[in-house]
Amino acid sequence: MGGGRVPFKVLTAPSRLAVLAALAALLPPAPAPAQLGAPDSVVYRLSPTSRLEVKTGKAGLFGFAGHEHVIRARGFAGRVVYYPGAPTASRVDLTVQSDSLEVLTPPDTAEIRKVTEAMRTEILRAEQYPTISFTSKTAAPADSGFRIVAELTLVGQTCEVAVDVRVAIGPDTLRAWATFSVKQTDFGIKPFRGGPAGTVRVADRVTFAIEAVATREP
């Protein structure tokens, strides 16, 4: 009866482990999470219609001469890398040219020029620190958008800021709105104090307002 039959052999526990280890070595590595159907990212580039403004009162970061001022960035660029299937993995990178910041108010040309020059040279030190950057680290769902923790770099100093961002995402366009404030002393900037008997003082806190419009890359 079946002289050529190979007798059935029961494997001991150590033998079974050895066989399993050998089989595992022959199998391809398990796919990374990104290979398991995670969606690709969508990249949006900021449009020139985007706006970044610094709003300050008489005691704001750039509140020289006892007036209220609105400062707007003329050189404002960046991108959003959005993951539709994993939104919290999305990233934001913004860059502002320091010497592109211009004072818009009050409507006094001579004062605007004076304040803008002082802002660029004395406060921002644009020649030494040509850019201001905003780079997200984490993103979590929030009402109408995300709560982002980002690194803000100003005059060579980097601090973390928490920002609530409202977002509207269309097929080819992304819009975002955010407002946040920081203390200038956190960036090593000494609050300005001048005028007669030091009556013109600079408060420690200043507010940034961003209205971003970004278009999808092909």
Name residue, tokens 């006892």. Answer: 66
* CATH architecture of residue range(s) 41-216: Beta Barrel (2.40)
Q: What is the CA radius of gyration of the chain?
A: 28
Give CA–CA dist 207/108, Å, rounded. Answer: 22
Can you give the pLDDT of all 218 residues of the chain as single tens digits? 445 554 434 444 445 445 444 444 444 444 444 433 445 899 999 999 999 998 776 654 554 555 566 788 988 899 999 999 999 999 999 999 999 988 776 666 676 777 788 788 888 899 999 999 999 999 999 988 999 999 999 999 999 999 999 999 988 999 999 999 998 889 988 765 544 444 445 567 889 999 999 999 98
* Peptide linkage before 106 cis (omega within 30 of 0): yes
Token couple for 27: 């199998």
pTM for this one?
0.72
- Locate the domains of the chain by residue range: 41-216
The span from the CA of 117 to the CA of 99, in Å, is 9
End-to-end alpha-carbon separation of the chain, Å?
Answer: 72
Paired tokens of 45:
């580039």
Asked if 216 and 43 touch (Cβ cutoff 8 Å), the reply is yes
Is 166:191 a contact under the CB 8 Å cutoff?
no
Assess contact for 120 and 69: CB atoms under 8 A. Answer: no
Query: Measuring CA to CA, how many Å separate 6 from each of 11, 40, 79, 92, 211?
Result: 15, 53, 67, 65, 77
* DSSP symbol at 123: I
User: To which residue do tokens 């971003």 refer?
Assistant: 212
